[in-house]
Chain A
Amino acid sequence: MPFNSFQFVAFFFIVYCFYLLSSHKWQNRLLLAASCFFYGSWDWRFLFLIFTSITIDYFCGLKIHGSDDENVKKRFLILSILVNLSILGFFKYFNFFISNFTGLIDYFGLSIQPRTLNIVLPVGISFYTLKTLSYTFDVYTDKIKPARSYSDYALFVIFFPLLLAGPIMRAGELLPQISSKRKLRLDEIGEGCYFIFWGLFQKIFIADNLAKVVDPVFNSSAPYDCTKIILALYAFAFQIYCDFAGYSNMARGLGKCMGFDIMVNFNFPYFSTNPQEFWARWHISLSAWFRDYLYIPISFSKREWGKWGVIFALMITFIICGVWHGAAWTFVLWGAYQGFLLVIYQLFKTAPIKMPILENAFFKKIWYFSRMFFFFQLISIGWLFFRVKSFSQALQMLRSLAGFLSNLQFDLLSRAMLIDLVFFTIVLVIVEYFQHARKDLTILLKAPFPVKLFVFMALFYLLVIFGEFGTKEFIYSQF
């Protein structure tokens, strides 16, 4: 039941009507039941898995907090980590490990016939696993107290707007909102509706239409010329951004309509001029999770290595981040590439370029946009590794890109792709430019009425006329 389906509209309408009529206690019960129904609509068996994780982490949290013995605390923390990572490891990585193990054995001239299993990846498992792990880590480090109410904790994990693809909210942010009474204000509901609408626009108008430019190039076995690969890469950069940010905005909007304050997960990432800024703006909840629970502990433990410790911590963190995204070497390569960019940035950031001409406001702006443009190319190359199906495809495309000066062909098809790319992204670029300039995501809501009328009518008509209502899955829900 993805957010962009008629079934979800009907589901949320019914839930919301009852939600508005319920007291706080019954609102939580309703949300828990609705979330179970929402998750079970994919496969009711997934409910057993998620509730296993919920139950174990709930009791581990209580035991960690209730004990003064450091060893006991550690044992329950390890139990929680082992259970959660085992479930994730089995469902997501079992076949990957088996096939790689077989490949390694074959390399040495031996032959085995291991069994791969027909495993269905539970929806959202990568997201809720990180959520539950963050809970036990925070209880262990005394950042938060454990949840007393099992149902409140269960709702924290399974809350349906955040279940499939985040944001990965911390217990310290979401649990207090669950346990305390929520005020529903009309302006907040209005903002919620705006985020839902904008998220739908990003998903249905932009992402799903750009998929038609991206898929033929990346799913084709035939080699494409450099121009088409570049256009498809740019299209994918916007597709994955709008797909994911669209989901996050809808989740935020749904939460706001119910009185929850859901964190911002994307903060104009393509306006970044360096990788550090990018990761502070892209999938903020994930990058914060990896920073707090992986990068900081690793870099702290290797602090005596100096800058090599930082480099080591960065590379390990981003390789694991790549692995988290998918069970394939291309994701590992993507993660390593992102880590490499950050390492290069860390090594050279203290040597900024100083030019007198940059004192001039106009040239400063030109320089800013040049850096943004340059960094966007680097990020797009990273997306190549993310999107390809195999190493050989990545190599083939990179070879084509490397010879771009001799390989540029602007034919009818390239023209069609370029028109699609511009048509489906121009609105996003304009809206986000103004949002970024004013540092306000809700700038459209604050515009004068004639401007608001024009903009929202235009967005609405573009969505209704050109939107892809075929309920294409969200990309990140596959993780």
Chain B
Amino acid sequence: MLRIFGVEFSHLGGKYFIHFISFFAAVVILVCLFFFSRKQLRSSLQKGISVLIVVMVLRLFLLYNPFIWRFYKNSLTEKEVGWLNRDVLRIEYYKYFRYFFCLSKYCILGSSQVGYVFPPGLLGDAQVFTMSGLSPLGYLGLKDYFRFDRPEYIVLFISDLDMARFPDQAYLRTSLTGGFDLLKIFPRIFENKAFREKYSTKKLDFFARFIFAQIFPEWKFSFVFKGFLNKLKGYNYELKEVTNIELADVPAEVSLKEQLKNLTENHFEEPIPANLILLEEFVSFCYLNKIKVIILEGQYNPLAYTEKNMQLEKSVRNGITKLLLSYPNLVYIPREKLYQFTESDYLGGYHVNFQAAQRFLISFAGVYSDYCKD
């Protein structure tokens, strides 16, 4: 087995690896052409091409090769870059490999909640893929991976926790296409009057940041370099309340009270239609690629439920139920049919313990054959 800088050569492959080889080749060709034809070029053109070459070489070494992403993945932890970005590091590294998802029948996709509801060791041939705070926009960001590694079923665990927040474009970072193909969906999202009224000021910012991220991947992945600075500073969460360094996600150790407050205060009705459009787009993609989608109605700590949450939950359920009419590949299992988590099952606001996960899976297995006709 050939290993170069810790990377197993035989596992490299896939579309992204081809892009890397092409980019590398392009840089080499450009450099050679420049050196051989330098004297024939005008001074200003020479300078312009020099700048271009420097930028491309820097990008190649700092961002566009599997070796550097292995280094980043192994050097940086969630303490330096946050939970979400730690997952992004992992994805960026595996993009250069042939199989992103294992070729299994089931792929369970979701936020960190899913990692606790479906812990490793309990599932046979299912693969669990989680990303901190993953929401419908994030599913769409990952859809291109499913084109190559096509599971038979994708299982989602969705509640208002996922649907009642503004779609965070940070999740587009994982997309193989950079998220360009998803731009066409956004006019539909902003057609919703309530969403537009609440988030119109974010619109220009959202698109400007998106375009900026495409033109400057250095900015898109700036969290890597900031992570090294954090490492140098010996940053850890005990310092957070004083240094106030912002990170992408809230760790599970944050107090229960804070987490529950977050669940009730930062969820709104307005993003739900937008996230339903994104979810529909994902379900539609799965339909075209002959992948069945099972949506399990999500849950979180019963202590967090307020009148507002129950209303949001209802809106999410109604929205998903409507999708069932248009997509025969979609199955929706409401929470009443599954094990209902109690306060004592929870480690915090959203994550359950292993025993509760076992009880949940048993209930899921019990109703599976009623909903999924294999």
Contacts and interface: CB of A to CB of B under 8 A. Distances in A.
A9 B219 CA distance: 18
Contacts of B225: 465-466
Nearest to B232: A419
A453 B50 contact: yes
A9 B208 CA distance: 10
B54 A213 contact: no
B365 interface: no
A465 B226 contact: yes
A237 interface: no
A420 B233 contact: yes
A216 B219 CA distance: 26
A6 B208 CA distance: 7
A9 B207 CA distance: 14
Interface stretch (B139-147, B238-246, B258-266): B238-246
Nearest to A449: B47
Question: From DSSP, what is the main secondary structure of chain A's interface residues?
Answer: helix
A457 interface: yes
Interface in A411-451: 412-413, 415-417, 419-420, 423, 449
Contacts of B47: 449, 453
Interface in B193-226: 204-205, 208-209, 216, 218-219, 222, 225-226
A453 B46 CA distance: 12
Contacts of B58: 457, 461
Contacts of B234: 412, 415-416
A241 B225 CA distance: 26
Interface residues on B, range: 20 to 34
Contact of A212 (B219, B222, B243): B243
A7 interface: yes
B239 A413 contact: yes
A464 interface: yes
B58 to A, nearest CB: 8
Given A10-B204, A453-B50, A413 B242 contact: yes
A193 B293 CA distance: 52
B143 to A, nearest CB: 28
Interface in B33-65: 47, 50-51, 54-55, 58
Nearest to A416: B233
A441 B89 CA distance: 41
A213 B50 contact: no
B205 A6 contact: yes
A79 to B, nearest CB: 41
A415 B230 CA distance: 11
A212 B244 contact: yes
Given A412-B239, A415-B234, A457-B54, A215 B244 contact: yes
Contacts of B205: 6
B219 A464 contact: yes
A415 B229 CA distance: 12
B242 A216 contact: yes
B230 to A, nearest CB: 9
Contacts of B244: 212, 215-216
Contacts of B233: 415-416, 419-420
B229 A6 contact: no
B276 to A, nearest CB: 28
A78 B101 CA distance: 79
Contacts of B226: 465-466
B235 interface: yes
A423 B50 CA distance: 28
Nearest to A412: B234
Contacts of A423: 229
A449 B243 CA distance: 39
B54 A216 contact: no
Contact of A453 (B54, B208, B209, B239): B54
B76 to A, nearest CB: 14
Nearest to A456: B51
B243 A413 contact: yes
A6 B204 contact: yes
A465 B234 CA distance: 20
Interface in B165-209: 204-205, 208-209
Of A10, A213, A464, A466, chain B has the most CB atoms within 10 Å of the CB of A464
A457 B55 CA distance: 8
A216 B205 CA distance: 27
Given A464-B218, A464-B219, A465-B219, A416 B239 contact: yes
A212 B233 CA distance: 14
A416 B50 contact: no
A402 to B, nearest CB: 23
Interface string A5-37: 011011000000000000000000000000000
B311 to A, nearest CB: 32
B234 to A, nearest CB: 6
A415 B242 CA distance: 13
Contacts of A457: 51, 54-55, 58
A465 B222 CA distance: 5
A6 B201 CA distance: 12
B148 to A, nearest CB: 31
Contact of B51 (A416, A417, A453, A469): A453
Contacts of A464: 216, 218-219, 222
Nearest to A228: B242
A190 B142 CA distance: 43
A451 to B, nearest CB: 13
Contacts of A213: 243
Given A6-B204, A453-B54, A416 B235 contact: yes
Contacts of A466: 222, 225-226, 229
Interface string A34-69: 000000000000000000000000000000000000
A334 B219 CA distance: 39
A7 B58 CA distance: 30
Contacts of A215: 244
Interface string B76-106: 0000000000000000000000000000000
5 contacts: A419-B233, A453-B51, A457-B55, A461-B58, A469-B219
Given A216-B242, A216-B243, A466-B222, 15 more contacts: A6-B204, A6-B208, A10-B204, A215-B244, A216-B241, A413-B239, A413-B242, A419-B229, A453-B47, A453-B50, A453-B54, A457-B55, A465-B219, A465-B226, A469-B219
A-B CB proximity, top 6 nearest = A6-B208, A416-B233, A465-B222, A464-B219, A465-B225, A216-B244
Interface of A: 6-7, 9-10, 212-213, 215-216, 220, 412-413, 415-417, 419-420, 423, 449, 453, 457, 461, 464-466, 469
Interface of B: 47, 50-51, 54-55, 58, 204-205, 208-209, 216, 218-219, 222, 225-226, 229, 232-235, 239, 241-245
